[in-house]
Amino acid sequence: MTKSELIDAVAAQTNVTKGRAEMVVNCIFDSMTEALKNGEGIEIRGLGSFTVRQYKPYHGRNPRTGEPVNVPSKRLPFFKVGKELKEMINAIDAPDDPKDNP
Amino acid sequence: MTKADIIERVYETVGGFSKKEAAEIVETVFQIMKQSLTTNRKIKISGFGNFVVREKKERMGRNPHTNQPIVIGARHVLNFKPSQVLKNALNAEDGN
């Protein structure tokens, strides 16, 4: 599912237009991005939580050329799946469709 | 940030919804996402990131407390891969 398919599904399940559904979906992800930018965590009960993790700088290597590269310190978002969604996902019993996970 | 904060933002920014309607539509968005992950196993939100369900095979593990070997059964897990746009936003020089 892509963002536009999510927007279509929201419009189909509610009585709002696609245009308004799009504004809502964008507003949700924009406000989440903004919170993460400010270093703030996000907790969506049932879905999961996002935290910002600080990574220290390290000396790495370009795996292709073996050349040493300096990787600067960085911040990355980390997602931890919530209990309800974890259980829903774990209950999937059919094997993966290979074309979904190339 | 919690769901209540997101609902408040939708109420203020999008406009035209009562607080109750804003709460309902935000709830619907997350419900659809959860449902879609169990059926389609993948959600791609451009500019934010991808949520992908991955299959884990059965493997042998060890109880770190008792050191007893145990079988960790096959299961499904959810991974989130942040988009380059989100990663850049978190590492902008000015912090904004």
pLDDT digit string (tens) for A46-77?
899 999 999 999 999 999 999 999 999 999 99
ipTM, 2 dp = 0.88
* Portion 53-72 of A in contact with B at CB < 8 A: none
Rounded to the nearest 10°, the torsion over CA A64, A68, A72, A78 is 40
Domain limits for position B16 = 1-40
A84 contacts chain B (CB < 8 A) = yes
Residue A97, domain member (yes or no): no
Q: What is the DSSP string of B57-72?
A: --EEEE-TTT--EEEE
Say if residue B89 is in the same domain as residue B78: yes
Say if residue B54 is in the same domain as residue B93: yes
Mean pLDDT of B20-42: 95
Give the total number of structural domains in chain B. 2
Beta bridge partner(s), residue A71: A58
Say if residue B51 is in the same domain as residue B6: no
Say what angle helices B3-13 and A18-37 make with each other, to 10 degrees.
Answer: 130
pLDDT of residue B96: 44
User: From start to end of chain A, where are the E strands?
Assistant: 42-44, 48-55, 58-61, 68-71, 74-81
Q: Which residue from B14, B36, B41 is facing A20, i.e. has the nearest CB?
A: B14
Say if residue B25 is in the same domain as residue B59: no
Check whether B41 has a pLDDT greater than 50: yes
Decide: B15 and A6 in contact? Cβ < 8 Å.
Answer: no
Domain limits for position A10 = 1-40
A45 contacts chain B (CB < 8 A) = yes
Q: Which of A5, A44, A78, A30 is nearest to B39 (CA)?
A: A5
